[in-house]
Structure 1
Amino acid sequence: MIAYFGKCLLLVTIMFLGVLFGMQQANHGMLSMKGYHDPSLKGAFTLTDGKDNEKEASILGETVTAKDLVEKQKELEKVETFNMFSKAGKALSDTVTNTAQSMYEWIRDMNQ
């Protein structure tokens, strides 16, 4: 199951990168046809040097920096600290496991 999920994730990633590459090639082709640089035509994926020699990436016109990624990581860690559904699922699975185990022991004791 994990191998299947890994293959699917790899395939989706390759397809996404293919779409980005295709959009970049289409942008380059449009610039070549036009004959001059038009600032309204932006690339699908660009890397630039930002302030303080920090790398910035622009994906489909939205700028992403390392600081943004760190902030998102901290936000995800806060969200993961309290996951009600995870706790409820764990409690339910423990209850079902304990019930099944006690029923098994009860039936085993009755047969002896």
Structure 2
Amino acid sequence: MTALEKEVARLTEENETVTAERDSLSEEVVSLNSATASTVSSTPSELFDETENIPSSDSSTTPEFYDNCSAAQAAGAAPVYAGDPGYGPHLDRDGDGVRCEY
């Protein structure tokens, strides 16, 4: 019986550890979702228009910046990073320096 009691004690301790870790991760998810929601809701909606002004398929020239993320994606340039040709701060949804990330 002692071997079984030791195994039960070990499994009970492991269960408590996993439960605490799960609870911590759940709190982190809630926090991240809240931060994401506030970032998205504070961004002007006109910056998200990704359906118009797609450039022609002529890839020999890179525009000064892409009009929207659809244009960058059509040119095969998405995601666009600061310093890349076609970079424009209006393309960044979450302000992290990476534009047109999907």
Superposed pair shares fold, TM > 0.5: no
Largest Rg, 1 or 2: 1
Q: Choose between structure 1 and 2 for higher RCO, CA contacts under 8 A separated by at least 6 residues.
A: 2
Could you say which TM-score interval applies, normalised by the shorter chain?
0.3 to 0.5
Q: When the two structures are superposed, what TM-score results if normalisation uses the length of structure 2?
A: 0.33
